[in-house]
Structure 1
C-alpha cells in the first residue's frame, strides 16, 4: 500500500488553512509529528547482498512530517491528515519555512484554559492537609 505524500508547497498551504480553520474556536488541537522514515516507508529495504539493515547509514534517511486536526467527531466529522517527506539535503530550507508557517498559525490560536485544573489541584491539596 503506497502512501501519497504532498509536495512541500501543497503541505504548507494546507497547514496554513488548518491553522486558519482553528482560529477563534473554543477547543480543538492540531498535532504536528516529525519522524525519520524507516525501511518499508519509502526507503528501500535491505537486499540480499546486504541483509542486515544499516542502523547508522552514511546517507541520512528522509524525514516524514505530518499534521492533523485530531480525531473526527460529531462536531468535526472530517479528520484532516497532511504529510510530506523531506530529503536530508532540503531540511534547512524546509524547517525555516515550516517554522514561519507554524509561528504565524499559532499566534492566532487561543491558549488552553488551565485554571480549572489549578483550582482542582488546590482543592485536593487543602483536603489532604
Structure 2
C-alpha cells in the first residue's frame, strides 16, 4: 500500500490537472478526503488493563501520526440522451508527515482555490422566497 502513494509534489501537480480537467469539461465532482494513517508495523496495542482504563487510547498516540490525503473524481458514464462522455476514474493519494503538515496545507489550499476559481455560483430558487413572503403577508394582514 505505501508504494501506491504519490510524493507531495506529484500529488499537487495531478490534483491541479484533475481540478482543471473537471472545470474545462463543465461537469464533474472531485472528492477530497483526509485521515490519519494508522498502519504501522512497529505498532502494538497497549495491555488490556490500560485499554480498560482508557477506552479511547488510540485517540492520543505516543508519536504524531502521518496523514493520508486522497482525491478522486466521480466516474461519469455517458447516459443515453446526454452529451457527456465517459471519464476514467482517477484516484490520487499522498502521505504527509506530521512535521510537514503546515507547509502542505498552505500549498493544498492554494491548489484547491486555483482549481475552484472558475466555478459558477449556484442559481437560487426564487419560488421559495416568494411563497414565504405571501404567507407572511396573508397571516399579518387585518381588515380595517
Where on the TM-score scale, by shorter chain, does this alignment land: which range? Answer: 0.7 to 0.9
Establish whether residue 16 from structure 1 lines up as the match of residue 26 from structure 2.
no
Whether the 8 Å CA contact 2:34–2:70 is kept in 1: the answer is: yes
TM-score normalised to the size of structure 1?
A: 0.74
Q: Which residue of 2 aligns with 1:6?
A: 6
Q: What is the Cα deviation at residue 106 of structure 1? A: 1.2
Q: Which residue of 2 aligns with 1:26?
A: 26
Q: Which residue of 2 aligns with 1:106?
A: 116
Deviation per CA, 1:41-87, whole angstroms, max 9, x where unpaired? x3337437x35564311312111101111134232331111100101
Q: CA RMSD in A?
A: 2.7
Q: Which residue of 2 aligns with 1:69?
A: 73
Establish whether residue 47 from structure 1 lines up as the match of residue 44 from structure 2.
yes
Distance 1:90 1:71, change over 3 A: same
**Secondary structure at 2:6's aligned position in 1?**
coil
Larger radius of gyration: 2
Distance 1:23 1:44, change over 3 A: same
TM-score normalised to the size of structure 2?
A: 0.67
Q: What is the Cα deviation at residue 14 of structure 1? A: 0.2
Question: Where does structure 1 lack aligned partners over 5 or more consecutive residues?
Answer: none
Question: Where does structure 2 lack aligned partners over 5 or more consecutive residues?
Answer: 52-56, 79-84, 139-144
Instruction: Report how many aligned residue pairs link the two structures.
Output: 121
CA distance, structure 2, for counterparts of residue 29 and residue 55 of structure 1: 32
Is the helix fraction higher in 1 or 2? 2
